[in-house]
Amino acid sequence: MYVCGITPYDATHLGHAATYLTFDLVQRYLRASGRKVKFVENITDIDDPLFERASRDNQSWKELGNSQVALFTSDMTALRILPPESYVSVTEAMDSIIVAIEKLAATGYTYECAGNVYFRTKEFLPNLPIPEAEALKIFAERGGDPLTPGKENALDPILWVAEKAGEPSWDSKLGRGRPGWHVECSVIALENLVGADYLTQTNQSNYEIDLQGGGSDLIFPHHFMTGAIGKALTSVDFASSYVHAGMVGLDGEKMSKSKGNLVLVSNLLKSGFDPMVIRYALLDSHYSKDRMWSNELLSNAQIRVDNLRSALSRNEVAPIDQLLRKIVDALADDLNTPLALSLINEWVDGNESGKSGGSIGELSRFLDSTLGLAL
Ligand code: 5CA
Ligand code: ZN
């Protein structure tokens, strides 16, 4: 599986945490059911908003990126989010990204306009996941440039940005420059999941990778474009499944760096919130639903976690066999974590009637391995 990682500035807000928790649950579920998981996540350390923030704050983009990646990984560890097998940054993957863009140029998938190199989306446009008018609007909001004169198609994204003063750049057959967004994820996924020879090998299956994931804000343009670029590179469909986490918002709006309405995991931790309470609060909504964050979610989670901890510290607890089976069923049903938590709460309440026979150790290990709740 390939999950779209952070652009390292203003990390890590609760929207990021909710999205990565989703794929942590996928990974836990797959491993628990005996499957091997190969999981790669990128880090977008080359991108306009990162450079803008670095220059605003008079900081080098490298330093800003490194410090934010460090903060992100420590937040993920605190929340017990299982890491991918590897995090791959754009700068680390630069050579392969350049080779891929050169191949796209050689096979007729690119053209030059206003000094930059664009990807030709024409043959993929019949598969747009949303109506074209809406696509044009979202494309412009998410870093695209539909209005640049001379483009063959308004939705074509930039593959290679010509060198700009004050920004890093690399040599390529298309001139000095740097990659645009989208192509990084096609290449990092293919190279690390399929193999370094992905451009030459013949893939016998119908898809290159099993799963591409991220937040639902990436459905268009990002996952549409990574899929199109991947297909242009290998002639095989990119991913057999797409999993999208809903958007977390605050005060009625999507939580985002550009709006500045962020609740940072590191700030909650600094204020003394227990990471397992934050994790519980995130698990209490279904991953695929858009939701608003609020302090009540945290206070409710605190009560639930306290009650569960005190149940787990009893000498005798109610039987757990049914509970474990039902939690597995809930998770198997599109990761229904709210149901899993309500089953746990029912079990906690059941202890008040003095039932006995359950194994506390087994339940603790189960909650840890399936839901990542280490209490
Ligand atoms: N680097 C690109 C992906 S290649 C990117 O979108 N970075 S990001 O830092 O903006 O977001 C990182 C991940 O968090 C993405 O999967 C994104 O879909 C998800 N995300 C961003 N904002 C939210 C939010 N408010 N709620 C839930 N998930 C979010
Ligand atoms: Zn991505």
φ/ψ region of 150 (left if φ > 0, alpha if ψ in -120 to 50, else beta) reads left
Q: Are strands 207-215 and 177-179 parallel, antiparallel or unpaired?
A: unpaired
Ligand nearest to the CA of 290: 1
49 CA from centroid of ligand 1 (Å):
13
pTM above 0.95, yes or no: yes
Give the fold, CATH level 3, of 2-248.
Answer: Rossmann fold (3.40.50)
40 CA from centroid of ligand 1 (Å):
16
Q: Quick one: which atom of ligand 1 is closest to the CA of 11?
A: 9
* Distance from C-alpha of 99 to C-alpha of 95, rounded to nearest angstrom: 6
One digit per residue, the tens of pLDDT, for the chain of length 375 reads 999 999 999 889 999 999 999 999 999 999 999 999 999 999 999 999 999 999 999 999 999 999 999 999 999 999 999 999 999 999 999 999 999 999 999 999 999 999 999 999 999 999 999 999 999 999 999 999 999 999 999 999 999 999 999 899 999 999 999 999 999 999 999 999 999 999 998 878 899 999 999 999 999 999 999 999 999 999 999 999 999 999 999 988 888 777 888 999 999 999 999 999 999 999 999 999 999 999 999 999 999 999 999 999 999 999 999 999 999 999 999 999 999 999 999 999 999 888 899 999 999 999 999 999 999
Residue nearest to atom 18 of ligand 1 (CA): 215
At which residue do the structure tokens 């983009």 appear? 61
CATH 1.20.120.640 domain locations along the chain? 272-371
> What tokens were used for 10?
């203003």
Q: Are 39 and 243 in contact (CB under 8 A)?
A: no
CATH 3.40.50.620 domain locations along the chain? 2-248
Give the fold, CATH level 3, of 272-371.
Answer: Four Helix Bundle (Hemerythrin (Met), subunit A) (1.20.120)
Neighbours of ion ligand 2 (CB under 5 A): 4, 185
Q: What is the largest distance, in Å, between two alpha-carbon atoms of the chain?
A: 75
70 CA from centroid of ligand 1 (Å):
17
48 CA from centroid of ligand 2 (Å):
15
